[in-house]
Amino acid sequence: MKMTAKLNDFQRIPACNFTFIIPLYYSFKDNNNLYLVMEYAIGGDLFTLLRHMKQFSNEMVKFYSAQVLLAFEYLHYLTIIYRDLKPENLLIHSNGFIKLTDLGFAKLLPKHKRTWTLCGTPDYMAPEIILNKGYHNSVDWWAFGILLYEMTTGYPPFMHYDQMKTFELIIIGDIKFTNHFNPLLKDLIMNLIQIDLSRRYGNLKNGIYDIKNHDYFKDLNWLQLYQLNIEPPYKPLYNNNNNDLQEINHFDYDNEINFNIAEKEQFDNSFDDF
């Protein structure tokens, strides 16, 4: 990733101190690299788990999506739009809960402002991004609907080997549902993957509460979830006897690089405000 994107990451993560967002512990740099030391999520990412399981149960979809919903509620309260939701950016903690990571595309955007940047993962891009119409956090709610669909089926609703064809499918917005879809989940997805912004959940007068109060989440205790007092439907298996350091001997090493002192600091002005 470009240095500018990582600087964005570096600037925003410290401000995001939330249960379901990966924390930044340390940061340091040399003349060539910026290093971000974050929490280790031993369960890997949700994408890997989804590919292994093919598709998630309704219980898992509800459990994981509710945590993303709370993370978005927090970010949007800080007027930060995320813009890069996908299973690869959801890390599984040892306790079975997930944490949102990679704020490289996140943007601090006041409520009355709009942005026109074309960014994100093609399968998850909202129509207003593709059509260069200018957008705010509505794009996160579109992506949230895509995530719900992919966790349920194992694949996103709009996909094609040709990226331009993918964009065409997104702009058309015709969603195909299989028979095994939970009716309440289907209704929620249809209100999220909504081309008309005046009808998209999360973007209406009630904001996020149209989603949190939807019947799909009716049996979920949001406070218990935030306090991590809900039993996760899946917990990663790992050895908890501090033998992880022994695995270092099995890692591949690159050839050692001899560092030289640069005549001039390459990023001298990059951290003036930190």
Query: DSSP secondary-structure letter at 89?
Result: G
The two tokens of residue 29 are: 């740099």
Which among 84, 102, 123, 210 is annotated as catalytic?
Answer: 84
Strands 34-38 and 24-29, sheet pairing: antiparallel
Judge contact between 10 and 36, C-beta under 8 A: yes
- 84 is a catalytic site residue: yes
Please spell the DSSP secondary structure of 20-45, one letter per residue: TBPPEEEEEE-SS-EEEEE---TT-B
The two tokens of residue 199 are: 């009808």
Judge contact between 46 and 99, C-beta under 8 A: no
Judge contact between 28 and 35, C-beta under 8 A: yes
d(CA 187, CA 177): 11
d(CA 132, CA 130): 5
Strand residue runs (E) in 136-263: none
- Kindly list the catalytic residues: 84
